[in-house]
Chain A
């Protein structure tokens, strides 16, 4: 059974209007839409809704801050304001439809326009609309606007498309002019000077506009004493251009303008392929972006939102229900119930005393509390840890550039030596042929096909991986997968599914007691109560009985009386069973332990097979913030020997560093902020997310949870892609070798260049694209 709104499977559906919903969040959204006659939302795409994540709700007070206003408000007059929200959850046509119909849903909204590619919406709001309330309303619908600073700089080369257009235009027309020559038509000889002149003028914008980046890059490279891939390309381009211009001048009728334009055209297409990124995905969240942008700070008698970076020691701040504590602080008042699962990965809630210290990253559950700041956010444990690993991140970038630069260094050297050798040879044999053969060598050597191999293979691989829900941040990173020797998993949320819980009843309950508990949980809407009700219905056939003095204490548990006995069902603290190891729901009779429901996150389906496949090739490790109650299970059922428990974020970081110091290449797979430091330190960090637009820490790739079992195939695919690159390298070297063989003999003709160069480029593109596609079809 799947949720009518979001399509998630629901074991215990909530029904409304004969439709099933997985949670009250989804039901609420449906009801809002239904009331406003927007049911069409569900007709455009099936189950288009976004599950409202109750654990990640933001307060939007900070939108009132002038600094933040600048970011979203771009026009305002007396009547209206125009704002742009970034809403990463936009994913289908229904989303577009719903958001553009928001004037029907929210009074004062005059217009809404979605940009699907950028995931932004431009709203025109009447001045009566409060932006904070409006943002909260969108959040309630599942479209929470995101204000964290993140967007990767859009393609550096904004004009690339125009450059390709110009190059294509000139390439086509020059080919038209060269056509009679290809066919050897003698009766057009009288037109040849005209054709050549037109070709010359058409080639000018190609070389000096479209191809300008190659000149600039190789110049920058030379200035920094690096021989990059652009240098041999520029050598080829210049030789082609000047030799052809010379031929035009002396009128021998042998020009290479068509090859020149075609070369630049193909190279630019390769570049365009390389520049394609997933603009809508966010791979760069550092620890700070997990914290709210602003927090309520006491000023005089009032609490006013302030940016977190402006907090200083001694400030008094107010933390509301489900809000994150932004910095280390002392508790002044209120009932603190802090959930540190964000930081530690462990799910138990802590109940510190008043006056004691709480740490950044904890989440308050329950009523408001007042805190006094002890340390700035920058100095808090997680942020400091994050900043300490910054050095390693630079190294991971640009590894491919390094590879191709190395290659081109030898390549350029070889070509220069070869041209010198050719020149010397012809000097003795036939000095008239020196320039002809040397320029032919430089032209043919132009590593066009070579330069296309990498972007087309990895670009296509990246696209195919994304199609099956594995999003790699940069195509260069695929190259690094081959070296991975060890895989480190986080447990909660990675190996186990944090949205699914498995219950087990420990202890003995008499059948009448089962009935009591069944009745009690039936009267509660807490998710665990619903789970227990479901569990009891499955295992027994309980019936409803009468309870006395029933009370539901929110956040703690249930209590009721039967005869003289007082029963409590609820948290460890509520039932006074703090000495127990397990986590879950405890049952006490007259404050004596009776039984408990052990709550565990269920492990992912097919986990056993996935681990088995990975074990053949990689060393598997598990690091978790949880206690070691699962150690036996991990060892016996999944055969994982290297499992470490009670690991703090810095323990995880040190573990990865230790492996790396042993010369191992480590892949880390995790999901939360507590893994973020380890993810960025590892050689390849994968963040697990329920949906690709979910809130994930900085990583090299995002893997959608439902495709977790494909992991070993993704890795195999990446390795094979590398072999494809190597093969296409060999292929393009072969073309160059044949061309060079002819060129050194001084018999290289323009027609030959016009055929060989596009042929080599196209065959490399075809080979890489086809072979990656076929491979992907086989594997997933």
Chain B
């Protein structure tokens, strides 16, 4: 049963990593605009007639 002490330590460290990742993501402004990045990603691939090769 003593292994439980190690397991708890590992789980706490893992959870803390996720917490830190969350705080970093929020501070770097990733949650500030949730619409335009999603849309922008799709727009880059759009074909315009001018870029099409002739012949």
Chain A residues with a Cβ under 8 A of chain B: 37, 40, 93, 96-97, 100, 113-118, 161-162, 165-166, 169, 172-173, 176, 190-191, 194, 198
Give the total of B residues in contact with A, Cβ under 8 Å: 27
Inter-chain contact A115/B19, CB cutoff 8 Å: no
Inter-chain contact A118/B33, CB cutoff 8 Å: yes
Known contacts A37-B48, A162-B23, A198-B8: does B40 contact A96 (CB below 8 Å)? yes
Within 8 Å CB of B22, what residues of A?
A: 162, 165
Minimal Cβ-Cβ distance residue in B for A90: B36
Inter-chain contact A169/B15, CB cutoff 8 Å: yes
Minimal Cβ-Cβ distance residue in B for A195: B8
Inter-chain contact B40/A169, CB cutoff 8 Å: no
Minimal Cβ-Cβ distance residue in B for A154: B32
Give the residues from 3 to 47 in chain B that come closer than 8 angstroms, CB to CB, to chain A: 4-5, 8, 11-12, 15-16, 18-19, 22-23, 26-27, 31-36, 39-40, 43, 46
**Among the interface residues B1, B15, B19, B32, which one has the most CB atoms of the partner chain A within 10 A?**
B19
One of A40, A162, A176 near B46 (C-beta < 8 A): A40
- Binding site of B, secondary structure by majority: helix, strand, loop or mixed? helix
Within 8 Å CB of B4, what residues of A?
A: 191
Within 8 Å CB of A117, what residues of B?
A: 32-35
Interchain nearest-CB distance for B52 vs A (Å): 11
Q: Does B50 contact A (CB under 8 A)?
A: yes
Within 8 Å CB of B50, what residues of A?
A: 37
Inter-chain contact B26/A162, CB cutoff 8 Å: yes
Add 8 more A-B contacts to A162-B26, A165-B19, A165-B22 (CB < 8 A).
A37-B48, A37-B49, A40-B48, A97-B43, A115-B36, A116-B35, A118-B32, A162-B22
One of B19, B39, B48 near A97 (C-beta < 8 A): B39
**Among the interface residues A113, A116, A172, A190, which one has the most CB atoms of the partner chain B within 10 A?**
A116
Within 8 Å CB of A176, what residues of B?
A: 11
Tell me the complex Cα distance, A172–B12, Å: 11
Tell me the complex Cα distance, A116–B4, Å: 48
Inter-chain contact B32/A173, CB cutoff 8 Å: no
6 interchain pairs, CB-CB under 8 A: A37-B48, A96-B36, A100-B40, A116-B35, A169-B16, A190-B1
Minimal Cβ-Cβ distance residue in A for B50: A37
Minimal Cβ-Cβ distance residue in B for A168: B19
Interchain nearest-CB distance for A690 vs B (Å): 23
Tell me the complex Cα distance, A169–B11, Å: 12
One of A116, A162, A190 near B36 (C-beta < 8 A): A116
- Binding site of A, secondary structure by majority: helix, strand, loop or mixed? helix
Tell me the complex Cα distance, A467–B32, Å: 21
Interchain nearest-CB distance for B38 vs A (Å): 9
Inter-chain contact A96/B35, CB cutoff 8 Å: yes
Inter-chain contact A96/B39, CB cutoff 8 Å: yes
Within 8 Å CB of B11, what residues of A?
A: 173, 176
Inter-chain contact B26/A115, CB cutoff 8 Å: no
Within 8 Å CB of A93, what residues of B?
A: 35, 39
Inter-chain contact A161/B31, CB cutoff 8 Å: yes
Known contacts A37-B49, A118-B33, A198-B8: does B39 contact A173 (CB below 8 Å)? no
Interchain nearest-CB distance for A239 vs B (Å): 27
Q: Which 5 A-B pairs have the closest CB atoms?
A: A116-B35, A116-B36, A117-B33, A169-B19, A115-B33
Minimal Cβ-Cβ distance residue in A for B18: A169
Inter-chain contact B36/A114, CB cutoff 8 Å: yes
Tell me the complex Cα distance, A166–B23, Å: 9
Tell me the complex Cα distance, A96–B11, Å: 42
Inter-chain contact A161/B32, CB cutoff 8 Å: no
Tell me the complex Cα distance, A194–B32, Å: 40
Inter-chain contact B48/A161, CB cutoff 8 Å: no
Interchain nearest-CB distance for B12 vs A (Å): 7
Within 8 Å CB of A118, what residues of B?
A: 32-33
Minimal Cβ-Cβ distance residue in A for B46: A40
Within 8 Å CB of A173, what residues of B?
A: 11-12, 15
Within 8 Å CB of A169, what residues of B?
A: 15-16, 18-19
Interchain nearest-CB distance for B54 vs A (Å): 16
Within 8 Å CB of A113, what residues of B?
A: 36
Interchain nearest-CB distance for B10 vs A (Å): 13
Within 8 Å CB of B46, what residues of A?
A: 40
Within 8 Å CB of A190, what residues of B?
A: 1
Within 8 Å CB of A96, what residues of B?
A: 35-36, 39-40, 43
Tell me the complex Cα distance, A166–B16, Å: 10
**Among the interface residues B11, B18, B39, which one has the most CB atoms of the partner chain A within 10 A?**
B39
Tell me the complex Cα distance, A355–B31, Å: 58
Within 8 Å CB of A191, what residues of B?
A: 1, 4-5
Within 8 Å CB of A100, what residues of B?
A: 40, 43
Tell me the complex Cα distance, A194–B8, Å: 10
Within 8 Å CB of B40, what residues of A?
A: 96, 100
One of B8, B12, B23, B43 near A165 (C-beta < 8 A): B23
Interchain nearest-CB distance for B1 vs A (Å): 8
Known contacts A96-B40, A114-B36, A116-B36: does B31 contact A166 (CB below 8 Å)? no
Minimal Cβ-Cβ distance residue in B for A176: B11
Inter-chain contact B19/A166, CB cutoff 8 Å: yes
Minimal Cβ-Cβ distance residue in A for B31: A161
Minimal Cβ-Cβ distance residue in A for B36: A116
Minimal Cβ-Cβ distance residue in A for B32: A117
Tell me the complex Cα distance, A116–B18, Å: 27
Within 8 Å CB of A114, what residues of B?
A: 36
Within 8 Å CB of A116, what residues of B?
A: 33-36, 39
Minimal Cβ-Cβ distance residue in A for B29: A115
Within 8 Å CB of A198, what residues of B?
A: 8, 12
Interchain nearest-CB distance for A467 vs B (Å): 17
Tell me the complex Cα distance, A176–B34, Å: 32
Interchain nearest-CB distance for B24 vs A (Å): 10
